[in-house]
Amino acid sequence: MNHENEPLIGSSGRHTHHDVTFFSSFKTTMTSSYFNILLVFVPAALIASYSNASDTIVFSLNFLAIIPLAKLLGFATEEIALRTGSTIGALLNATFGNAVELILGIIALKEGLIRVVQASILGSILSNILLVLGFCFLLGGSTRQEQSFNVTAAQTSSSLLALTTLSLLIPAAFSATANTASEAEEGILKLSHGTAMILLLVYILFLFFQYEDEADEDETPSTTLSFSIVSLITIAGFVSLHAEFLVGAAAEHVSSVTFALKNKMNLCIGIAISSSLQIGLLVTPVLVITGWIIDQPMTLFFENFETVVLFSSVLIVNYLIQDGRSNWLEGVQLLSVYSIVALAFYVHPTSKE
């Protein structure tokens, strides 16, 4: 098996459980990829971002800085997954990746930018289940005829994705059948508050359910668990700083595709799908409840066009992952759907307002 994250120096390969120390963990992490040489751009990007540098320079430096951070984030996730199971590792990766999304959402909500928050939620879900997953299937299947992943986990994710979509479909249906606009507005607000609390409860139960996942036994961890967790938190913090000038979950997306290339499809799908589920079952309800607290009418009612697009996208994703197998052609299909959706939003009148 080809391990991309093996140390570049030293001949002993991964450490055994007996000789793993903080220093060896740090050394292994820093030499896990040639891309880590790009870490020199991290301080340069931060200086440029908060100075008077041009937008082109800021974007370029942050783009270069986030590449090694994404590799390190993936390495830390993989190390944790070796001890706790691929599902927990993927959940941790997705959680830290979506922290930026949640923080930016709350800031926008305080400014009353509700449509911006809703567009961000929809865009994040679609980019994860279509763009990221599409690239995972395409690039992962480019060197293999077929890849497999946990069917039970995939089916569970499918049902939860459907639940997320349903929570947006019902407010849209309520709006379409209400007698008056004021009746619809008041009813949707109450419906959204109640649904948000239910979704949060489902997410908590989902977390308990994930702990039944067993740890991987194919490889031996080369870092201590405490070091991996601290690394994940620290790297996620730096990612959030750089992602502000790029895309909220950019590093998380790169990690997911990297796992696909290494044929770690459970981690790949776990990150892509778990990220979407966290946005639907955690980020969105928290934003709705936050809006309730600060008196901003944040609801689960999206435009009818947006709701139909999300429903259609989830439908095709659920169909493709239900058999627990993937290939490059399925990746092409998902990327095609993403392209069609992007084109539809570009030409849609409401999207131009």
Query: For residue range 149-173, what is the model confidence (pLDDT) as tens digits?
Result: 777 777 888 889 899 999 999 999 9
pLDDT band at 13 (very low <50, low <70, confident <90, very high): very low
CATH fold of 22-352? A middle domain of Talin 1 (1.20.1420)
Q: What is the mean pLDDT of the chain?
A: 78
For residue 269, pLDDT beyond 50: yes
**Nearest one of 95, 134, 24 to 239, comparing CA atoms:** 95
Helix (H) or strand (E) segment spanning residue 147: strand 147-148
Separation of CA 150 from chain center: 19
d(CA 72, CA 235): 7
pLDDT value of residue 7: 40
pTM of the model: 0.69
**Nearest one of 276, 295, 334 to 141, comparing CA atoms:** 334
d(CA 198, CA 191): 11
pLDDT value of residue 108: 84
Q: Report DSSP state, residue 182.
A: H
pLDDT band at 89 (very low <50, low <70, confident <90, very high): low
First to last CA, the chain: 51
pLDDT value of residue 16: 46
**Bigger pLDDT: 197 or 19?**
197
Angle at 258 between CA 256 and CA 259, to 5 degrees: 70
Dihedral sign (CA 240, 134, 165, 87): negative
| Mean pLDDT lowest among 8-17, 77-86, 208-217 | 8-17
**Nearest one of 196, 173, 127, 211 to 302, comparing CA atoms:** 173
Helix (H) or strand (E) segment spanning residue 33: none
Q: Please answer whether residues 206 and 157 qualify as being in contact, where contact means their C-beta atoms are separated by less than 8 angstroms.
A: no
For residue 9, pLDDT beyond 60: no
pLDDT tens profile 183-197? 888 899 999 999 999
- Pick left, alpha or beta for residue 123 (phi over 0 → left; psi -120 to 50 → alpha; otherwise beta): alpha
d(CA 158, CA 133): 13
**Bigger pLDDT: 259 or 219?**
219
pLDDT band at 299 (very low <50, low <70, confident <90, very high): very high
Q: Please answer whether residues 196 and 298 qualify as being in contact, where contact means their C-beta atoms are separated by less than 8 angstroms.
A: no
Q: Please answer whether residues 323 and 119 qualify as being in contact, where contact means their C-beta atoms are separated by less than 8 angstroms.
A: no
d(CA 277, CA 90): 12
CB-CB neighbours of 16 under 10 Å: 11
Separation of CA 293 from chain center: 26
For residue 123, pLDDT beyond 60: yes
